[in-house]
Amino acid sequence: MKSISCKIILILTLACSCYKVSAQTKVTDPHAGHGSHAGHSSSASSKATTTTSTKKYQQINDNMHKSMDIKFTGDADKDFLAAMIPHHQGAVDMAEVVLQHGKSLKIRQLAQEIITMQKKEIAEMKQLLKESK
């Protein structure tokens, strides 16, 4: 389980880093930095060719960050669960893109492991959130 969690963190860190590098090439927005996930926008232009998988990753990243921008309640437990559920769903969605477009057998196997574990954790977090209301 610890190994899977480390792999998930590594994949998400790499994915977010790619989007951050891409975001640095965009025109400066006077409102940039006013959100909790500033700099992770996928709307930034990039010199790299935009493939189908890249477009999917960008959409997933945008959706994940919008969903993670929760209204905080002041309850650390509820806020954690409310933000982590879309974060884990983003990992599932990205892993599904790998299964559709990835070529590496090792990475495809990792993606399948991530899907299995993250779906289990999402269900657990949803149940805990439901119980905490």
Please report, for the chain, the start and end positions of each structural domain, with discontinuous segments joined by +. 2-24+47-131
Mean pLDDT for each 10-residue chunk of the chain (133 residues)?
Answer: 58 51 40 45 57 95 95 96 97 97 97 98 97 88
Give the count of beta carbons closer than 10 Å to the beta carbon of residue 44: 17
For the domain with range 2-24+47-131, which CATH number is right: 1.10.287, 2.60.40, 2.115.10, 1.20.1260? 1.20.1260
Position 49 scores a pLDDT of 75
Positive/negative CA dihedral, 10, 51, 122, 69: positive
pTM over 0.75: no
| Distance separating alpha carbons of residues 96 and 35, to the nearest angstrom | 27
| Distance separating alpha carbons of residues 92 and 116, to the nearest angstrom | 8
